[in-house]
Amino acid sequence: MRVFSLQDLAELVFANHPIVKQAVLLSAEARTQVQQARGGFDPKLGAGFDRKVFGGTNYYNNWANELKVPLWPGGVDLKASYDRYVGTYVNPEHRTPVGGLAGIGLSVPLGQGLLIDARRSTLRQARIMVDAAEADRVKQINEVWLQAAKDYWNWYYAYQQTALIQEGVALAEGRFQAVSRRVDVGDQAPIDSVEARITAQDRLVQAEQLRVELQNARLVLSNHLWNGDAQPVELPTRALPQDPALARLDTAELSRLRTQAAVQHPTLRKLDAKIRQLGIEERYRREMLKPKINASGTLLSQGDFYRNEVPATYNFGWDNYKVGVDFAFPLFLRQERGKLQYTRIQVQENVLEQQQSRRTILNRVDASYNTLKAYERQLAIQALTIENQRVLLRAELAKFNLGESTVFLINARETKLIDLRLKLASMQASYEKSLAELYYYAGTRTQGNE
């Protein structure tokens, strides 16, 4: 037989449990969203070619190329281009020298998009959502561990029940044999052997029922056991549960857990990330209330500017340029104002939800702590009750040996003692489960498994 401790369970769960591995993917998934958002700042290279020849006439030969590099500050776009528009029927406005026309310039938003634009908003929100995904990951792992810990202590209680009843069966069988021998020699009434036999049979029935419950509890705990190859494994029948540590918590630990719950609880961290995300969205929506004013400027040069024989007049300089300004402004701004108001309402909703969640979490922490303290007092009383019951049983056995008691009274005392010990085991298991709940409500895991 080998003890399968709670720490052994923790190591297997955190290393191999599929839901724990799935939870780890949440953070990885959020990071891919950040990578996608960064794509809004990727340089873009574009090119297009059109040519028309009809009736022996070269109508046009158009070749346009552009490299666009988004810059973070101010939503500015750096542009480099090369255009070659030649042919008989090319619009003079667009016609270029035979060697083409090169350009390099900037496009700058002077109104909407100067402080924040869609691509900067998306990237900032994606970065914040990494924190939300991390909170979700911690919450899922905590939930898995809470259920695993509860199933472990259910297995412990089922094991203790089986062991205590088996002990009771052995005592009842031994008493039946002793009473039978005394009946055979005439020192005991035959009815006492019947009483002893009924008790032994009743405990055998209980033992059989509890054996099935222990098997089922072992199977439930096995739901959390996986090996490194992602294959399910079962808890061996030779495995024994550890004894409850019954770690006592003081007010200093409660204060620490309350502080941690108020700041680091996964639910609150996720809501905080959501509020920060909506703050970015609100800032972006305010920016959308501004008019669109985009200014662009490009310095021009003949496409073969690298040749020495090209006159400086046609090279890059302040005399060769192209500029433009675009302006647009919705007169009523109903769509933009509606989106801004909707975002502000969402912020308020999440702030209120965060306030209520924080209060609920802290109350759950306090309630779990109160439950633990109540169990501590009950366990102390129960231990004293068991000792007193043992005294009564020893006294009854002494009276029985003197012929002043009956098998019925001994069985009653013994059954009561077994029931009290079963209740103690149940309370110990409940204490450990309440301890796991306390740490879960505080947003963490039990000591030694954080």
Give the C-alpha separation, 65 to 102, whole Å: 9
CB 204 within 8 A of CB 169: yes
Name the residue among 417, 359, 358 with its Cα closest to residue 386: 417
Residue 272 amino acid letter: D
| Contact predicate 446/432, CB 8 Å | no
Q: Is residue 373 situated within a structural domain?
A: yes
> In 3D, which of 68, 71, 63 has the Cα closest to residue 80?
68
pTM: 0.85
Task: Say what the pLDDT of residue 51 is.
Answer: 95
Sheet strands (E) in 231-381: 239-241, 292-302, 321-328
Whether 449 shows a pLDDT value over 80: the answer reads no
Q: Which residues of 86-112 are buried (b: 16+ CB within 10 A; e: fewer)?
A: bbeebeeeeebeebbbbbbbebbbbbb
Mean per-residue pLDDT, 144-161: 96
Say which residues have a Cβ less than 8 Å from residue 112's Cβ, sequence separation at least 6: 287, 288, 290, 291, 292, 293
Portion of the chain with pLDDT greater than 70, in percent:
96
Residue 404 is assigned to a structural domain of this protein:
yes
Q: Are residues 191 and 238 in the same domain?
A: yes
Which of helix, strand or coil describes residue 347? helix
Clarify whether residues 125 and 148 are in a common domain: yes
Residue 357 near residue 268, CB atoms below 8 Å = yes
Tokens of 1: 């037989």
Structural domain including 196 reads 2-38+119-283+341-441
Residue type present at position 379: L
Co-location of 155 and 259 in the same domain: yes
As a whole number, mean pLDDT of residues 258-265 equals 93
Position 14 confidence tier, pLDDT thresholds 50, 70, 90:
very high
Alpha-carbon span 423 to 317, nearest angstrom: 93
Find residue 226's DSSP bridge partners.
232
**Model pLDDT for residues 410-435, shown as the tens digit of each residue:** 888 999 999 999 999 999 999 999 99
Task: With a cut of 50, say whether residue 150 has pLDDT above it.
Answer: yes
Joined together, the tokens standing for residue 64 give 């346009």
Q: Are residues 302 and 389 in the same domain?
A: no
| 114 located within any domain | no
Contact in structure between 233 and 221 (CB atoms under 8 Å): no
Phi and psi angles of residue 78, each rounded to the nearest 5 degrees, phi first = -90, 130
Statement to judge: residues 126 and 100 lie in one domain: no
Q: Which residues have CB under 8 Å from 432's CB, separation 6+?
A: 149, 153, 156, 244, 245, 246
Domain-located, residue 306: yes
For 7, the token pair is 């720490």
- Interstrand relation of 77-86 and 292-302 (parallel, antiparallel or unpaired): unpaired
Amino acid at residue number 103: G
Mean pLDDT of the chain: 90
Give the model's pLDDT for residue 319: 81
pLDDT tens-digit series, residues 188-239: 677 878 888 888 898 899 999 999 999 999 999 999 999 988 899 999 989 9
**How crowded is residue 179: how many other Cβ atoms within 10 Å of its Cβ?**
23
Co-location of 323 and 374 in the same domain? no
Residues 131 and 191 in one domain: yes
Does 446 fall in a domain? no
CA 21 to chain centre: 11
Quote the CA–CA distance of 195 and 189 in Å, as a whole number: 10
Asked whether the beta carbons of 273 and 264 are under 8 A apart, the reply is: no
Number of domains in the chain: 2
Q: Is 319 in the same domain as 268?
A: no
Q: How many alpha carbons lie under 13 Å from residue 157 in its C-beta half-sphere?
A: 18
pLDDT reported for residue 310: 54
Same domain, 136 and 245: yes
CATH of the domain at 150: 1.20.1600.10
List, for residues 162-196, the tens digit of each pLDDT value: 999 999 999 888 888 877 877 777 666 778 788 88
In whole angstroms, what is the distance from residue 346 CA to residue 388 CA? Answer: 62
Residue 168 resides in a domain: yes
Q: How far apart are CA 193 and CA 363, in angstroms?
A: 57
Let me know whether 104 and 234 are in one domain. no
- The secondary structure of residue 323, as a DSSP letter, is E
Last residue of a domain, one of 328, 355, 388: 328
3-state secondary structure 365-426: HHHHHHHHHHHHHHHHHHHHHHHHHHHHHHHHHHHHHCCCCCHHHHHHHHHHHHHHHHHHHH
Rounded average pLDDT over 274-288: 95
**Domain for residue 335, yes or no?**
no
Q: In this structure, are 167 and 275 located in the same domain?
A: yes
Containing 46, the helix (H) or strand (E) segment is strand 44-54
Domain assignment of residue 236, yes or no: yes
Whether residues 164 and 259 share a domain: the answer is yes
pLDDT bin (cut points 50, 70, 90) of residue 408 is confident
